[in-house]
Amino acid sequence: MIYFNNVSKVYPQGGNDASLEDVTFSVAPGEFVSVVGHSGAGKTTLIKLLLCEEKPTAGSVFFESLNIHALKHKELTNYRRRIGVVFQDFRLLANKTAYENIAFAMEAAGKDEEEIMSDVPHVLDLVDLTSKMYHFPHQMSGGERQRLAIARAIINQPELIIADEPTGNLDPVNTYEVVQILKKINDLGTTVILTTHNRGVIDSIGKRVITLEKGRLIRDDKDGKYII
């Protein structure tokens, strides 16, 4: 599904220091892969490359048969619609309720009102937020806001979910709940790529772990342990 082929990314202001250096790995459909590493290891750059927010200095990134950095504008828009993204800082619309935040994402994807009225309650139930349907983000806890962000990310049934440090601002209880939801989404067949610093999160998932260090891929473990 995803293939990084000898990918390097060097930022001019960084001199000769590579944010990523000769990184090669693949992710199969339906996998749950965690990407770990200290701050500055290259996790954020990897995600930006996958989202086409940056282009590689060398190498190629493929999504199925698509060289994603060779896509034209319309093709790139269609590609991004196949991905749902969950950020550490939620990025919710403050002036919209939980229902409206998700409905807005559906409207942007061209869904009609009947689909919205049918699907939004279902996805809120999936993340256990039915009772918060008409609450605004400021009326919700950090864990609830992150679960809402996940609901928004999955509402258009993407093939891939990218969760970029989704538990970074959460306490252990809410962290556990968010991880369980990501595992449930993966169990339903969606590919998940998670970046995190949290050793406990990695060990609780028990899935594949890719470790980055100073821009290089130094480990690729199937047994799901945080070793760094």
pLDDT value at residue 16: 59
Q: What is the pLDDT of residues 160-170, one digit of tens each?
A: 999 999 999 89
pLDDT value at residue 30: 97
pLDDT value at residue 15: 57
Mean pLDDT of 99-126: 97
Q: Is 83 helix (H, G, I), strand (E, B) or coil?
A: strand
Q: Is 203 within 8 Å of 29 (Cβ atoms)?
A: no
Going by the DSSP 8-state scheme, the letter that residue 65 receives in this structure is T
When computed from its CA atoms, the radius of gyration of the chain, rounded to whole angstroms, is 18
pLDDT value at residue 106: 97
Entry pTM: 0.94
Mean pLDDT of 176-203: 94
- What is the rounded distance in angstroms from the CA atom of residue 216 to the CA atom of residue 228? 13
Q: Is 77 within 8 Å of 119 (Cβ atoms)?
A: no
Going by the DSSP 8-state scheme, the letter that residue 140 receives in this structure is S
Q: What is the pLDDT of residues 117-144, one digit of tens each?
A: 999 999 999 999 999 999 999 999 999 9
Domain map of the chain by residue range?
28-46+65-82+159-228, 93-156
Which contacts qualify for 127-130: CB closer than 8 Å, 24 or more apart? 127/151, 127/181, 128/177, 129/98
Q: Is the pLDDT of residue 64 over 90?
A: yes
CA angle 178, 40, 47 (to 5 degrees): 55
Q: What is the pLDDT of residues 4-37, one digit of tens each?
A: 999 999 988 755 566 999 999 999 999 999 999 9
Average pLDDT in the chain: 94
CATH 3.40.640.10 fits 28-46+65-82+159-228, yes or no: no
